[in-house]
Structure 1
C-alpha cells in the first residue's frame, strides 16, 4: 500500500519565518500552501514535496533529513553558493569532500549543507 503513495518529507523549524526566508532567498522556493498551524508545504519535482513545521526540536538530528537528486552536483553547488548557501566539509573514513563535494564510488557525487534551522540537507547524483 505505502509503496504506491506519494512521499512528503517533514522538516522541523524553531523559527518558521526564518525558515521561510531561507527556503525562499537561498533555495528559491515559495510555499505552495500554508497549513492552519503555520506549517509550510513546498512542492518539488515529480509530485514530491516537503513540509516545514515549527518545533523546538529543530536542528537536533545529526543525519541528512532531506535530499534532492541532481544531474549535475557541481553546477547546483555553484548556483546555491552564489545564493549564499554554505556547504559542509567532511573528512572521515569513507567520506571526504573536496570543495564541498564528495565523490563516492558507486554512489556518484553528493554535497551537504545546513538550512537556517540546523537541518542537514543534501544534493546528490547517482550513476546510471
Structure 2
C-alpha cells in the first residue's frame, strides 16, 4: 500500500523563526507557506517535502532525522561549510568520519550536521 507513495519528514523546532532563518540562510530553502507562524513546509527535489513545527520537544532525538541525497558529497559539504555549517565528527565502531565525511565499506558516504533546533541532518551519497 505505501511502497509507491512519497514520504516526507517532520522536524520539531523550539523557535520557528530561528529555524526559518537557518533553513533560508544556511541551506537556501524557502517555505511553501511563508506566512505561517507555527509550522513551515518545504519542498525539495522530486517533490519530496518536509515540515518544521513549533514544539518544546525539539532537539531531543539522538538520531538522524532527515537526509538529502547528493551527487557530489565533498562539494556539497564544502558549499554548506562556506555558509557556516559545522559538520559533526564521529568515531564509533563501524563509523568514523574524516573531515566530516564517513565512508562505508560499500563506498557509500555521509556527513551530518545540526540545525539550530538540535535536529541531526545529513547529506548522503550512495555508491
Q: Same fold (TM over 0.5)?
A: yes
Query: 1:36: how far off?
Result: 5.8
Query: What's the Cα RMSD here?
Result: 1.3
Q: Report Cα offsets for 1:36-69 as digits up to 9, x if no partner.
A: 6621000000010100000010000000000000
> Are the structure 2 counterparts of residues 101 and 118 from structure 1 closer, same or farther at C-alpha, using a change threshold of 3 Å?
same
**For residues 35 and 24 of structure 1, what CA distance do their matches in structure 2 show?**
14
**For residues 44 and 125 of structure 2, what CA distance do their matches in structure 1 show?**
16
Verify the 8 A CA contact 2:11 2:51 in the aligned structure 1: yes
**Structure 2: which 5+ runs fail to align?**
none
Aligned to 2:67: 67
Aligned to 2:87: 87
Q: Does 1:10 align with 2:10?
A: yes
Verify the 8 A CA contact 2:102 2:111 in the aligned structure 1: yes
Secondary structure of the 1:65 match is strand
**For residues 27 and 41 of structure 1, what CA distance do their matches in structure 2 show?**
14
Mapping for residues 22-101 of structure 1, pairs under 5 Å:
22-34=22-34, 38-101=38-101
Aligned to 1:19: 19
Aligned to 2:102: 102
Stretches of 4+ aligned residues off by more than 6 angstroms: none
**For residues 73 and 81 of structure 1, what CA distance do their matches in structure 2 show?**
12
Query: 1:33: how far off?
Result: 1.7
Q: How many residues align?
A: 127
Query: Structure 2-normalised TM-score?
Result: 0.95
Query: Structure 1-normalised TM-score?
Result: 0.94
Query: 1:4: how far off?
Result: 2.4
